Amino acid sequence: MSDTKQACAAAEEQMLLLIYTMRDRLMQQHDYTEQLATEVATLCVETVRAEYGGERLYVPAMSKLTRDAAIREELRTGNAAEVARRWNLSESRVYQIARRRG
């Protein structure tokens, strides 16, 4: 397989992984059904492809202030164990964030 074909195959695999990751987050954080979450994730990825296909696109990471505010908001309706799992943090870290006001 040529280098170009390998690069295209790798890019397609990354797009599928992005769809699956988005689908899983939609299901976990918004209680979407698997079918709806897959449709929304696919639409998002296809929209980015249509607008920016072939270009290099920089996507900045979420700032810690934004992340921490989102975590504090989630704690209003969820428990620390669920929030920690969703954000890939320890429960003690979630409690530290909750005590700190950004």
Banded model confidence at residue 7, pLDDT cuts 50, 70, 90: confident
Residues 86 and 45 in one domain: no
Average pLDDT for residues 85-99, to the nearest whole number? 92
Report pLDDT for 93: 95
* In a domain? residue 82: yes
47 and 78, same domain (yes or no): no
**Total number of domains in the chain:** 2
Residue 57 lies in a domain: no
The torsion defined by the Cα of 14, 20, 69 and 65, in degrees rounded to 10, comes to: -10
Domain, as residue range, for 78 = 64-99
pTM of the model: 0.62
What pLDDT, on the 0 to 100 scale, is given for residue 102? 56
- Residue 58 falls inside a structural domain: no
Residues 16 and 42 in one domain: yes
Q: Quick one: 7 and 43 in the same domain?
A: yes
